[in-house]
Structure 1
Amino acid sequence: MSKSRVVYNGKCKDTNLQKSAILEDLKEQNNQITDTLISDNEKDKQELTKLIMNSVPDNGKKIGNTAIIRKLQENFNGRLESSIIESEYWVIRNSLIEQGIIQKARGKGGSVFKLTKTTEKMEENSASYNKESGLYKPFMDTLEKKFTKDQSILEYVLQLTAMQGARQTGGKWTRPDLSMVAISKYTYLPGKYIDVITFEIKHLNNFDITGVYEAAAHTSFANKSYLSIQTSDELEESETATFDRIKVECRRFGIGLIVFNNPAEYDTWEILVDAERHNPDYAATDFFIGSQFDEKKRVNIISMLK
């Protein structure tokens, strides 16, 4: 009995040792698998980061988050699930923002851009416009050089209608900051047609919902009216709430909404709400042109209509 007990105990000891060895072996294998997965994940993360940086233009122009995610999913097709790629994108994007490599910008679904010497210079220029009146001239120049081409406006006369002293305009909110008379002609319609387009400009330190109502008042004599607001790329929470309300009210009144960072750089402009076409009383439109445009420009308008 004594001998068999020893053998039994010996078997138990051998079995425990075997179990222990197997467990240690499994643990080692698990560690190796974990290390491999971590290594693979790190490689994927590094590759994702590289692809994100390659997707964002070097010239400071913005690109949408959705467009970048789509590019990543195309490059990682079959290697990673789409949901994992999207999840990783936001983590990496936020890290790059914290490092000051890229910055957030506006756009549908949000967008980002690389910080370059050019964009830093643009931000410095934007900050140099310390009051609304300082925005008028560069905004007007960009309307003439870029906006008219973008909107297919071929013949037009542009007038700075702000700061005209005691000139009679017809009451409160009847003097836009900038005004344009656009002349159009059509293939199957006789004659030429006038569109009066107005722009109410607001500085980034001085805009609120009132601007919508000012622009809406212009539709009593204008065919299209735009509220144009200078903004920074990062809005405070209170500003975001104001902007949301402004967009709703612009749509309600059929007013266009333009936002811009630098009035002289059309790449920083964005039309958030398209202006609807209104049909004001002809007499009101005629009175506005006659009272707000300089004589030389009125002569140009008459000449264009011939």
Structure 2
Amino acid sequence: MLERDLYEPVYNYLELGFRDRLKPARGDLRHITAITANTGGNATGIWSKPDLCIISLSRQKYGLSWQIDLHGFEVKPQGACSVQSVHEALNHTSLVNFTHLVWHVGDWNESRADCSTILSRCSHYGVGLITFGAPSDLTSYVLHLPARRHDPSPDAFDEFVETRLSQEDRTKLLSWITELRR
């Protein structure tokens, strides 16, 4: 399978599986999931943007304010994941709060050299690691390592939203922000 063929199944996993990890136990979550691999922004260079993203707005039940977070996801097909892939995902921390490497690997085994090396590098840099065996089987997705928080500049965050999300998603996000500022 080509990388671009994995975007839709990974999108489905993010919508139906991953987003529940973002919701506070006793709070609210609003989110937008988007495939961003072929959208605007800086398209020069191989490490220019995540393939997918989730923007989440969350609030604890008794919290006073909402938190906005941007998660980026770098997708790699079988046979195409390496330490370079970890660095590619790491580069996205200039744009997103949390970056994840999503690897299609049919036979994950942490004792295998490639799996161990990828896991070690992700852990070192705070890159989340998600693997899956069957793209359309949501039960095959495994979060091996959660991503650590990074803090891109507010201008980089805005630039990402402005250039990589559809007009419809930007309008929805802006309406939520306007509503929640009251």
TM-score (norm 1): 0.53
1:257 and 2:132 matched: no
How far 1:304 sits from its partner (Å)? 1.7
Match of 1:301 among 161, 169, 173: 173
Q: Using the alignment, how far apart are the partners of 1:275 and 1:213 within structure 2?
A: 14
Q: Using the alignment, how far apart are the partners of 1:192 and 1:276 within structure 2?
A: 19
Deviation per residue, 1:187-221 (Å, 9 max, x gap): 45433221000100000121111110111011112
Q: Using the alignment, how far apart are the partners of 2:70 and 2:43 within structure 1?
A: 16
1:217 and 2:91 matched: yes
The answer to whether the 8 Å contact 2:23/2:58 transfers is no
How far 1:143 sits from its partner (Å)? 1.0
In structure 2, the CA distance between the partners of 1:234 and 1:270, relative to structure 1 (3 Å rule), is: closer
- Structure 1 segment 14-93 matched on structure 2, within 5 A: none
The answer to whether the 8 Å contact 1:168/1:291 transfers is yes
The answer to whether the 8 Å contact 1:169/1:288 transfers is no
Equivalent pairs, count: 172
Match of 2:36 among 155, 161, 165: 161
How far 1:298 sits from its partner (Å)? 0.3
Paired amino acid for 1:256: G
Q: Using the alignment, how far apart are the partners of 2:66 and 2:16 within structure 1?
A: 23
How far 1:233 sits from its partner (Å)? 2.1
Match of 2:114 among 242, 245, 248: 242
Q: Using the alignment, how far apart are the partners of 1:162 and 1:170 within structure 2?
A: 9
Paired amino acid for 2:19: T
How far 1:299 sits from its partner (Å)? 0.6
> Larger C-alpha radius of gyration, 1 or 2?
1
Paired amino acid for 2:14: L
Q: Report the counterpart of residue 140 of structure 1 in structure 2.
A: 11
Deviation per residue, 1:134-180 (Å, 9 max, x gap): 1111110121112212442731011111123xx33275312111011
Q: Using the alignment, how far apart are the partners of 2:99 and 2:120 within structure 1?
A: 15
Deviation per residue, 1:47-101 (Å, 9 max, x gap): xxxxxxxxxxxxxxxxxxxxxxxxxxxxxxxxxxxxxxxxxxxxxxxxxxxxxxx
Q: Using the alignment, how far apart are the partners of 1:232 and 1:131 within structure 2?
A: 14
Q: Using the alignment, how far apart are the partners of 2:21 and 2:60 within structure 1?
A: 19
Root-mean-square deviation (CA, aligned residues, Å) is 1.9
Work out the percentage of aligned pairs sharing the same amino acid. 28
Match of 2:80 among 194, 206, 211: 206
Question: Where do 5+ consecutive residues of structure 1 fail to align?
Answer: 1-129
- Name which structure has the greater RCO, CA cutoff 8 Å, separation 6+: 2
Moved more, 242-251 or 292-301: 242-251
Q: Using the alignment, how far apart are the partners of 1:137 and 1:158 within structure 2?
A: 11
TM-score (norm 2): 0.86
- Decide which structure has greater strand share: 2
Q: Report the counterpart of residue 182 of structure 1 in structure 2.
A: 56
The answer to whether the 8 Å contact 1:158/1:179 transfers is yes
